Amino acid sequence: MYNLTMNNINYDLVIVGGGTSGCAAAYNAAKSGIKTLLVEKNNFLGGLMSGGLVVPVMKSAVEDINTDFYFELVECAKKYDAQITYKFKNTKNDGWFNPEVLKIVLDDLLTKDNIKKNLDILFETEVTDVEIEYNKIKTIILKNDILSIPVVSTYFVDATGSGILSSLAGCKFIDDTIQNQQSSLRFILSNVDVKTFAKFIKKIDNDEDITNIYRDDIDTKGLINFTTASTWDTNKKWALDEILKQAVKDGVLTDSDRSYFQIFSVAGSSNQVAFNCPRIDTYKNNPYKYSEELINARKAIWRLLNFVKNYFKGFENAELTNIASQTGIRESRRVKTKYIYTKDDLISGKKFDNIVLKSNYSIDIHSKNKNSSVLQKTVNYELPIESLMSIDRENLFVIGKIVGADFEAHSALRVQKSCMQMGEAVAKYIAKINS
Protein backbone atom coordinates (compact mmCIF):
# COMPACT_ATOMS: atom_id res chain seq x y z
CA MET A 1 0.00 0.00 0.00
CA TYR A 2 2.93 2.39 0.62
CA ASN A 3 5.13 4.28 -1.87
CA LEU A 4 2.56 3.71 -4.58
CA THR A 5 3.19 5.19 -7.97
CA MET A 6 0.07 6.32 -9.76
CA ASN A 7 -0.39 6.29 -13.53
CA ASN A 8 0.45 9.46 -15.46
CA ILE A 9 -2.14 12.19 -15.04
CA ASN A 10 -2.60 14.85 -17.75
CA TYR A 11 -3.34 18.56 -17.45
CA ASP A 12 -3.06 21.64 -19.66
CA LEU A 13 -1.42 23.55 -16.82
CA VAL A 14 0.25 22.65 -13.54
CA ILE A 15 0.91 25.40 -10.99
CA VAL A 16 3.28 24.49 -8.18
CA GLY A 17 2.65 26.70 -5.14
CA GLY A 18 -0.81 27.70 -3.91
CA GLY A 19 0.24 30.99 -2.34
CA THR A 20 -0.34 34.63 -3.26
CA SER A 21 0.56 34.40 -6.95
CA GLY A 22 -0.33 30.72 -7.49
CA CYS A 23 -3.94 31.15 -6.34
CA ALA A 24 -4.41 34.07 -8.75
CA ALA A 25 -2.99 32.01 -11.60
CA ALA A 26 -5.11 28.94 -10.78
CA TYR A 27 -8.31 30.96 -10.45
CA ASN A 28 -7.88 32.75 -13.76
CA ALA A 29 -6.68 29.68 -15.66
CA ALA A 30 -9.62 27.59 -14.50
CA LYS A 31 -12.01 30.45 -15.25
CA SER A 32 -10.67 30.50 -18.83
CA GLY A 33 -11.43 26.78 -19.24
CA ILE A 34 -7.85 25.51 -18.88
CA LYS A 35 -7.61 22.09 -17.21
CA THR A 36 -5.43 23.05 -14.25
CA LEU A 37 -3.75 21.38 -11.30
CA LEU A 38 -2.67 23.44 -8.27
CA VAL A 39 -0.08 21.77 -6.04
CA GLU A 40 0.53 23.07 -2.52
CA LYS A 41 2.88 21.73 0.13
CA ASN A 42 0.93 23.22 3.04
CA ASN A 43 -2.52 21.97 4.02
CA PHE A 44 -4.04 25.36 3.12
CA LEU A 45 -3.86 28.01 0.41
CA GLY A 46 -2.48 31.53 0.69
CA GLY A 47 1.26 31.07 1.31
CA LEU A 48 2.71 34.19 2.90
CA MET A 49 -0.71 35.86 3.10
CA SER A 50 -2.11 33.15 5.37
CA GLY A 51 0.71 30.92 6.69
CA GLY A 52 3.18 33.83 6.77
CA LEU A 53 0.68 36.17 8.53
CA VAL A 54 1.54 38.95 6.04
CA VAL A 55 -1.64 40.89 6.65
CA PRO A 56 -1.43 44.15 4.63
CA VAL A 57 -1.73 44.55 0.87
CA MET A 58 0.53 47.41 -0.18
CA LYS A 59 -0.86 49.99 -2.53
CA SER A 60 0.81 49.23 -5.83
CA ALA A 61 -1.35 49.03 -8.97
CA VAL A 62 -1.85 52.41 -10.62
CA GLU A 63 -4.19 50.85 -13.19
CA ASP A 64 -6.54 47.91 -12.86
CA ILE A 65 -4.61 45.56 -15.13
CA ASN A 66 -4.86 41.87 -14.20
CA THR A 67 -6.59 42.71 -10.94
CA ASP A 68 -9.77 40.58 -11.37
CA PHE A 69 -8.56 38.04 -8.84
CA TYR A 70 -7.64 40.67 -6.25
CA PHE A 71 -11.08 42.28 -6.37
CA GLU A 72 -12.88 38.91 -6.35
CA LEU A 73 -10.80 37.94 -3.32
CA VAL A 74 -11.71 41.17 -1.51
CA GLU A 75 -15.42 40.63 -2.28
CA CYS A 76 -15.31 37.03 -1.11
CA ALA A 77 -13.32 37.94 2.06
CA LYS A 78 -15.86 40.63 2.97
CA LYS A 79 -18.53 37.90 3.22
CA TYR A 80 -16.43 36.38 6.02
CA ASP A 81 -15.60 39.77 7.65
CA ALA A 82 -12.01 38.98 6.74
CA GLN A 83 -10.95 42.13 4.89
CA ILE A 84 -10.88 45.85 5.46
CA THR A 85 -10.21 48.50 2.86
CA TYR A 86 -8.08 51.33 4.08
CA LYS A 87 -9.31 54.76 3.08
CA PHE A 88 -6.79 57.33 4.32
CA LYS A 89 -5.74 59.41 1.36
CA ASN A 90 -2.00 59.03 1.90
CA THR A 91 -2.13 55.43 3.09
CA LYS A 92 0.49 52.99 1.87
CA ASN A 93 -1.94 50.06 2.25
CA ASP A 94 -4.88 49.10 0.07
CA GLY A 95 -6.30 47.20 3.01
CA TRP A 96 -5.67 43.95 4.76
CA PHE A 97 -6.95 40.42 5.22
CA ASN A 98 -7.50 38.21 8.23
CA PRO A 99 -4.81 35.58 7.60
CA GLU A 100 -6.50 32.62 9.31
CA VAL A 101 -9.94 33.20 7.80
CA LEU A 102 -8.27 33.80 4.42
CA LYS A 103 -7.59 30.06 4.24
CA ILE A 104 -11.37 29.48 4.17
CA VAL A 105 -11.95 32.42 1.82
CA LEU A 106 -9.47 31.01 -0.72
CA ASP A 107 -11.04 27.53 -0.49
CA ASP A 108 -14.39 29.14 -1.18
CA LEU A 109 -13.17 31.18 -4.14
CA LEU A 110 -11.23 28.36 -5.77
CA THR A 111 -14.06 25.85 -5.44
CA LYS A 112 -16.79 27.98 -7.01
CA ASP A 113 -18.67 25.88 -9.60
CA ASN A 114 -17.16 27.60 -12.66
CA ILE A 115 -13.63 27.22 -11.23
CA LYS A 116 -13.93 23.77 -9.69
CA LYS A 117 -14.91 22.11 -12.97
CA ASN A 118 -11.45 22.95 -14.38
CA LEU A 119 -9.29 22.99 -11.24
CA ASP A 120 -7.91 20.19 -9.07
CA ILE A 121 -6.05 21.07 -5.87
CA LEU A 122 -3.54 18.79 -4.16
CA PHE A 123 -2.51 19.74 -0.62
CA GLU A 124 0.49 18.44 1.29
CA THR A 125 2.06 17.53 -2.01
CA GLU A 126 5.47 18.62 -3.28
CA VAL A 127 7.31 18.46 -6.57
CA THR A 128 10.35 16.23 -6.26
CA ASP A 129 11.53 15.55 -9.81
CA VAL A 130 11.19 16.79 -13.37
CA GLU A 131 11.58 15.12 -16.77
CA ILE A 132 12.74 17.35 -19.62
CA GLU A 133 12.18 16.71 -23.34
CA TYR A 134 13.43 19.09 -26.07
CA ASN A 135 13.90 22.09 -23.81
CA LYS A 136 10.47 21.67 -22.25
CA ILE A 137 9.27 20.19 -19.00
CA LYS A 138 7.39 17.05 -19.96
CA THR A 139 6.51 15.44 -16.64
CA ILE A 140 6.85 16.42 -13.01
CA ILE A 141 6.87 13.95 -10.18
CA LEU A 142 4.77 14.94 -7.20
CA LYS A 143 4.96 13.24 -3.84
CA ASN A 144 2.91 13.21 -0.72
CA ASP A 145 3.71 11.02 2.29
CA ILE A 146 2.41 7.93 0.55
CA LEU A 147 2.09 8.39 -3.19
CA SER A 148 4.32 9.28 -6.09
CA ILE A 149 2.29 11.07 -8.74
CA PRO A 150 3.70 11.67 -12.26
CA VAL A 151 1.93 14.55 -13.98
CA VAL A 152 2.20 15.44 -17.67
CA SER A 153 1.22 18.93 -18.75
CA THR A 154 1.53 21.39 -21.63
CA TYR A 155 2.49 24.34 -19.39
CA PHE A 156 3.98 24.69 -15.93
CA VAL A 157 4.08 27.62 -13.51
CA ASP A 158 6.56 27.94 -10.68
CA ALA A 159 4.78 29.87 -7.90
CA THR A 160 6.77 28.39 -5.03
CA GLY A 161 8.38 31.60 -3.80
CA SER A 162 11.72 29.75 -3.79
CA GLY A 163 11.98 28.58 -7.41
CA ILE A 164 12.17 24.91 -6.52
CA LEU A 165 10.40 23.77 -9.72
CA SER A 166 12.74 25.91 -11.84
CA SER A 167 15.72 24.51 -9.96
CA LEU A 168 14.61 20.90 -10.55
CA ALA A 169 14.11 21.79 -14.22
CA GLY A 170 17.74 22.94 -14.43
CA CYS A 171 16.96 26.64 -14.85
CA LYS A 172 19.47 29.36 -14.06
CA PHE A 173 19.00 31.95 -11.32
CA ILE A 174 19.97 35.61 -11.23
CA ASP A 175 23.13 36.07 -9.23
CA ASP A 176 23.63 39.84 -9.11
CA THR A 177 24.20 40.85 -5.51
CA ILE A 178 25.45 39.89 -2.10
CA GLN A 179 22.71 42.07 -0.56
CA ASN A 180 20.02 40.37 1.48
CA GLN A 181 16.49 41.32 2.37
CA GLN A 182 15.90 40.71 6.06
CA SER A 183 13.10 38.21 6.73
CA SER A 184 10.55 38.27 9.58
CA LEU A 185 8.88 35.66 11.73
CA ARG A 186 5.47 37.24 12.17
CA PHE A 187 3.08 36.45 15.03
CA ILE A 188 -0.35 37.31 16.41
CA LEU A 189 -1.41 38.21 19.94
CA SER A 190 -5.00 37.84 21.07
CA ASN A 191 -6.96 39.23 24.01
CA VAL A 192 -5.76 42.77 23.30
CA ASP A 193 -8.10 45.66 24.07
CA VAL A 194 -7.72 47.25 20.63
CA LYS A 195 -9.96 50.22 21.50
CA THR A 196 -7.83 51.15 24.50
CA PHE A 197 -4.59 50.77 22.53
CA ALA A 198 -5.97 52.90 19.68
CA LYS A 199 -6.68 55.72 22.18
CA PHE A 200 -3.19 55.32 23.69
CA ILE A 201 -1.35 55.46 20.36
CA LYS A 202 -3.49 58.31 19.03
CA LYS A 203 -2.46 60.45 22.01
CA ILE A 204 1.24 60.02 21.37
CA ASP A 205 1.40 59.84 17.54
CA ASN A 206 -0.33 62.10 15.01
CA ASP A 207 1.93 61.19 12.08
CA GLU A 208 -0.38 59.51 9.56
CA ASP A 209 2.67 58.27 7.70
CA ILE A 210 3.36 55.98 10.67
CA THR A 211 0.18 55.54 12.66
CA ASN A 212 -3.29 55.10 11.17
CA ILE A 213 -6.45 54.51 13.13
CA TYR A 214 -9.38 53.61 11.01
CA ARG A 215 -13.02 53.07 11.74
CA ASP A 216 -15.56 52.43 9.06
CA ASP A 217 -19.00 51.18 10.00
CA ILE A 218 -19.68 49.55 6.64
CA ASP A 219 -16.44 47.63 6.14
CA THR A 220 -15.56 46.75 9.68
CA LYS A 221 -18.89 46.58 11.54
CA GLY A 222 -17.76 49.22 14.02
CA LEU A 223 -14.43 47.57 14.85
CA ILE A 224 -11.39 49.79 15.22
CA ASN A 225 -8.44 49.05 12.96
CA PHE A 226 -4.98 50.52 13.34
CA THR A 227 -1.39 50.23 12.31
CA THR A 228 1.72 51.73 13.86
CA ALA A 229 5.47 51.20 13.71
CA SER A 230 8.88 52.15 15.02
CA THR A 231 12.32 51.28 13.65
CA TRP A 232 15.86 52.09 14.71
CA ASP A 233 16.40 54.10 11.51
CA THR A 234 16.53 57.84 12.12
CA ASN A 235 14.71 58.88 8.92
CA LYS A 236 11.42 59.44 10.75
CA LYS A 237 10.26 60.57 14.15
CA TRP A 238 8.95 57.32 15.60
CA ALA A 239 6.65 58.16 18.50
CA LEU A 240 7.12 54.71 20.05
CA ASP A 241 10.91 54.89 19.94
CA GLU A 242 11.32 56.34 23.45
CA ILE A 243 9.20 53.53 24.92
CA LEU A 244 11.20 50.89 23.05
CA LYS A 245 14.48 52.45 24.16
CA GLN A 246 13.27 52.46 27.77
CA ALA A 247 12.44 48.74 27.49
CA VAL A 248 15.99 48.10 26.24
CA LYS A 249 17.35 50.04 29.25
CA ASP A 250 15.08 47.97 31.52
CA GLY A 251 16.43 44.75 30.02
CA VAL A 252 13.02 43.73 28.66
CA LEU A 253 14.08 44.07 24.99
CA THR A 254 17.44 43.84 23.23
CA ASP A 255 18.61 46.69 21.01
CA SER A 256 18.06 44.60 17.88
CA ASP A 257 14.41 44.10 18.90
CA ARG A 258 14.11 47.83 18.15
CA SER A 259 15.35 47.38 14.57
CA TYR A 260 11.84 46.94 13.19
CA PHE A 261 8.62 46.97 15.16
CA GLN A 262 5.32 47.13 13.29
CA ILE A 263 1.83 46.09 14.34
CA PHE A 264 -1.60 45.85 12.72
CA SER A 265 -5.05 45.06 14.04
CA VAL A 266 -6.58 42.00 12.37
CA ALA A 267 -9.56 42.40 10.03
CA GLY A 268 -12.79 41.22 11.65
CA SER A 269 -11.33 40.88 15.15
CA SER A 270 -11.75 43.18 18.15
CA ASN A 271 -8.84 41.68 20.10
CA GLN A 272 -6.08 40.41 17.82
CA VAL A 273 -2.91 42.24 16.82
CA ALA A 274 -0.50 41.02 14.11
CA PHE A 275 3.24 41.77 14.42
CA ASN A 276 5.56 42.28 11.42
CA CYS A 277 8.64 41.34 13.46
CA PRO A 278 11.08 40.12 14.72
CA ARG A 279 13.47 40.37 11.81
CA ILE A 280 15.75 37.46 11.04
CA ASP A 281 18.59 36.62 8.69
CA THR A 282 17.92 33.67 6.39
CA TYR A 283 21.63 32.86 5.84
CA LYS A 284 20.88 31.45 2.38
CA ASN A 285 24.01 29.27 2.35
CA ASN A 286 24.00 28.19 5.98
CA PRO A 287 20.93 26.19 7.07
CA TYR A 288 22.39 25.67 10.56
CA LYS A 289 22.66 29.41 11.23
CA TYR A 290 19.21 29.97 9.71
CA SER A 291 17.74 27.36 12.05
CA GLU A 292 19.40 29.09 15.03
CA GLU A 293 17.86 32.34 13.84
CA LEU A 294 14.39 30.80 14.03
CA ILE A 295 14.99 29.76 17.64
CA ASN A 296 16.29 33.27 18.42
CA ALA A 297 13.25 34.77 16.70
CA ARG A 298 10.89 32.81 18.94
CA LYS A 299 12.85 34.08 21.98
CA ALA A 300 12.40 37.61 20.61
CA ILE A 301 8.65 36.99 20.22
CA TRP A 302 8.49 36.08 23.90
CA ARG A 303 10.37 39.28 24.81
CA LEU A 304 8.05 41.34 22.60
CA LEU A 305 5.00 39.78 24.29
CA ASN A 306 6.30 40.76 27.72
CA PHE A 307 7.23 44.20 26.42
CA VAL A 308 3.78 45.10 25.06
CA LYS A 309 2.02 43.62 28.11
CA ASN A 310 3.99 45.93 30.38
CA TYR A 311 4.46 49.11 28.32
CA PHE A 312 1.35 49.48 26.10
CA LYS A 313 -2.15 50.31 27.32
CA GLY A 314 -4.61 47.68 26.09
CA PHE A 315 -2.08 44.83 25.92
CA GLU A 316 -2.11 43.95 29.65
CA ASN A 317 -3.88 40.60 29.10
CA ALA A 318 -2.40 39.78 25.68
CA GLU A 319 -1.77 36.12 24.83
CA LEU A 320 0.42 34.61 22.15
CA THR A 321 -1.87 32.62 19.86
CA ASN A 322 -0.08 32.28 16.51
CA ILE A 323 3.50 32.18 15.21
CA ALA A 324 3.67 32.10 11.41
CA SER A 325 3.93 28.56 10.04
CA GLN A 326 5.74 29.97 7.00
CA THR A 327 8.80 32.19 7.57
CA GLY A 328 8.43 35.67 6.11
CA ILE A 329 11.18 35.43 3.50
CA ARG A 330 11.12 38.56 1.36
CA GLU A 331 13.56 37.35 -1.30
CA SER A 332 15.19 33.99 -1.93
CA ARG A 333 15.91 33.15 -5.59
CA ARG A 334 14.99 35.01 -8.77
CA VAL A 335 14.78 32.99 -11.99
CA LYS A 336 16.54 33.98 -15.23
CA THR A 337 13.79 34.97 -17.62
CA LYS A 338 13.55 36.05 -21.26
CA TYR A 339 13.73 39.66 -20.06
CA ILE A 340 15.41 40.49 -16.77
CA TYR A 341 13.71 43.58 -15.40
CA THR A 342 16.10 46.11 -13.86
CA LYS A 343 16.11 49.05 -11.48
CA ASP A 344 16.88 51.27 -14.49
CA ASP A 345 13.73 50.03 -16.28
CA LEU A 346 11.79 50.76 -13.14
CA ILE A 347 13.07 54.23 -12.31
CA SER A 348 12.86 55.34 -15.95
CA GLY A 349 9.31 53.97 -16.30
CA LYS A 350 10.39 52.09 -19.47
CA LYS A 351 7.46 51.11 -21.72
CA PHE A 352 6.80 47.55 -22.90
CA ASP A 353 4.35 45.93 -25.36
CA ASN A 354 2.82 43.14 -23.28
CA ILE A 355 2.51 44.36 -19.74
CA VAL A 356 1.63 42.46 -16.60
CA LEU A 357 1.07 45.45 -14.33
CA LYS A 358 1.53 49.16 -13.91
CA SER A 359 2.70 50.04 -10.42
CA ASN A 360 4.39 52.72 -8.38
CA TYR A 361 5.25 50.75 -5.25
CA SER A 362 8.63 51.90 -3.93
CA ILE A 363 12.00 50.20 -4.01
CA ASP A 364 11.77 48.67 -0.54
CA ILE A 365 14.85 47.03 0.94
CA HIS A 366 14.91 45.86 4.57
CA SER A 367 18.50 46.00 5.71
CA LYS A 368 20.10 44.42 8.75
CA ASN A 369 22.08 47.58 9.48
CA LYS A 370 20.89 50.85 11.01
CA ASN A 371 19.94 53.59 8.54
CA SER A 372 20.62 51.30 5.57
CA SER A 373 17.07 50.29 4.67
CA VAL A 374 15.69 51.82 1.47
CA LEU A 375 12.19 53.07 0.71
CA GLN A 376 12.67 54.97 -2.54
CA LYS A 377 9.70 56.49 -4.33
CA THR A 378 9.38 55.68 -8.04
CA VAL A 379 7.57 56.87 -11.13
CA ASN A 380 4.84 54.64 -12.58
CA TYR A 381 6.52 51.57 -14.06
CA GLU A 382 5.51 48.59 -16.23
CA LEU A 383 6.52 44.94 -15.96
CA PRO A 384 6.67 42.93 -19.24
CA ILE A 385 5.32 39.38 -19.51
CA GLU A 386 8.77 38.22 -20.72
CA SER A 387 10.03 38.69 -17.12
CA LEU A 388 7.73 35.80 -16.17
CA MET A 389 8.98 33.41 -18.89
CA SER A 390 11.88 31.08 -18.07
CA ILE A 391 14.76 31.51 -20.47
CA ASP A 392 15.72 27.84 -20.07
CA ARG A 393 12.41 25.97 -20.42
CA GLU A 394 9.95 26.95 -23.13
CA ASN A 395 6.81 25.92 -21.27
CA LEU A 396 7.75 27.24 -17.81
CA PHE A 397 6.51 30.51 -16.32
CA VAL A 398 7.66 32.01 -13.01
CA ILE A 399 5.44 34.25 -10.89
CA GLY A 400 5.46 36.00 -7.54
CA LYS A 401 8.65 36.72 -5.67
CA ILE A 402 10.82 34.61 -7.99
CA VAL A 403 10.13 37.06 -10.88
CA GLY A 404 13.02 37.66 -13.29
CA ALA A 405 14.19 40.99 -11.91
CA ASP A 406 17.35 42.42 -10.40
CA PHE A 407 17.59 42.81 -6.62
CA GLU A 408 16.35 46.42 -6.44
CA ALA A 409 13.55 46.02 -8.99
CA HIS A 410 12.46 42.86 -7.20
CA SER A 411 12.15 44.77 -3.93
CA ALA A 412 9.42 46.88 -5.56
CA LEU A 413 7.68 44.08 -7.49
CA ARG A 414 7.34 41.56 -4.65
CA VAL A 415 4.23 43.05 -2.98
CA GLN A 416 1.06 41.00 -2.80
CA LYS A 417 -1.14 42.70 -5.37
CA SER A 418 1.70 42.69 -7.93
CA CYS A 419 2.29 38.97 -7.26
CA MET A 420 -1.41 38.31 -7.89
CA GLN A 421 -1.25 40.36 -11.08
CA MET A 422 1.67 38.22 -12.27
CA GLY A 423 -0.37 35.05 -11.67
CA GLU A 424 -3.36 36.46 -13.50
CA ALA A 425 -1.26 37.74 -16.43
CA VAL A 426 0.37 34.35 -16.97
CA ALA A 427 -2.97 32.51 -16.79
CA LYS A 428 -4.48 34.86 -19.36
CA TYR A 429 -1.41 34.58 -21.59
CA ILE A 430 -1.56 30.77 -21.50
CA ALA A 431 -5.30 30.86 -22.23
CA LYS A 432 -4.54 33.00 -25.30
CA ILE A 433 -1.77 30.81 -26.72
CA ASN A 434 -3.66 27.62 -25.85
CA SER A 435 -6.86 28.60 -27.70
Ligand X SMILES: Cc1cc2nc3c(=O)[nH]c(=O)nc-3n(C[C@H](O)[C@H](O)[C@H](O)COP(=O)(O)OP(=O)(O)OC[C@H]3O[C@@H](n4cnc5c(N)ncnc54)[C@H](O)[C@@H]3O)c2cc1C
Interface residues with ligand X (CB under 6 A) are 16-22, 39-42, 47-49, 52, 54, 56-58, 126-127, 159-162, 164, 184, 276, 328-330, 400-401, 414-416, 419
CA 242/CA 370 separation, integer angstroms: 17
| Residue/partner pairs of 35-38 with CB below 8 Å, 24 or more apart | 35/10, 35/11, 35/118, 36/11, 36/12, 36/118, 36/119, 36/120, 37/9, 37/11, 37/13, 37/119, 37/120, 37/121, 37/122, 37/151, 37/153, 38/110, 38/119, 38/120, 38/121, 38/122
Q: Which is nearer to ligand X, 252 or 408 (CB)?
A: 408
| Cβ atoms 22, 157 nearer than 8 A | yes
Q: How far is the CB of 45 from ligand X (least distance, A)?
A: 7
Q: Which is nearer to ligand X, 128 or 310 (CB)?
A: 128
CB nearest ligand X: which residue? Answer: 19
Q: How far is the CB of 234 from ligand X (least distance, A)?
A: 22
Q: Which is nearer to ligand X, 90 or 435 (CB)?
A: 90
Q: How far is the CB of 356 from ligand X (least distance, A)?
A: 14
CA 272/CA 101 separation, integer angstroms: 13
Q: How far is the CB of 166 from ligand X (least distance, A)?
A: 11
Q: Which is nearer to ligand X, 258 or 417 (CB)?
A: 417
**Sequential DSSP letters for 176-217:** --S----EE--EEEES--HHHHHHHHHHH---TTT-EEEE-H
Q: How far is the CB of 398 from ligand X (least distance, A)?
A: 9
Reduce the DSSP state of residue 315 to 3 states and report it.
Answer: coil
Q: Which is nearer to ligand X, 252 or 330 (CB)?
A: 330
Q: For residue 371, give Cα distances in angstroms to 242, 299, 330, 366.
A: 17, 25, 19, 10
For residue 8, the 8-state DSSP code is P
Q: Which is nearer to ligand X, 8 or 128 (CB)?
A: 128
Q: Which is nearer to ligand X, 35 or 414 (CB)?
A: 414
Q: Which is nearer to ligand X, 252 or 366 (CB)?
A: 366
**Sequential DSSP letters for 31-100:** HTT--EEEE-SSSSS-GGGTTT---EEE--BSS-SS-HHHHHHHHHHHHTT-EEE---TT-SEEEEE-HH
Q: Which is nearer to ligand X, 22 or 384 (CB)?
A: 22
Q: Which is nearer to ligand X, 163 or 384 (CB)?
A: 163
Q: How far is the CB of 94 from ligand X (least distance, A)?
A: 8
Q: How far is the CB of 44 from ligand X (least distance, A)?
A: 8
Q: What residues have CB less than 8 Å from 404, skipping those under 6 apart?
A: 174, 334, 335, 336, 337, 338, 339, 340, 341, 387, 388, 389, 391, 398
CA 212/CA 206 separation, integer angstroms: 9
Q: How far is the CB of 393 from ligand X (least distance, A)?
A: 17
Q: How far is the CB of 416 from ligand X (least distance, A)?
A: 3
CA 347/CA 343 separation, integer angstroms: 6
Q: How far is the CB of 279 from ligand X (least distance, A)?
A: 8
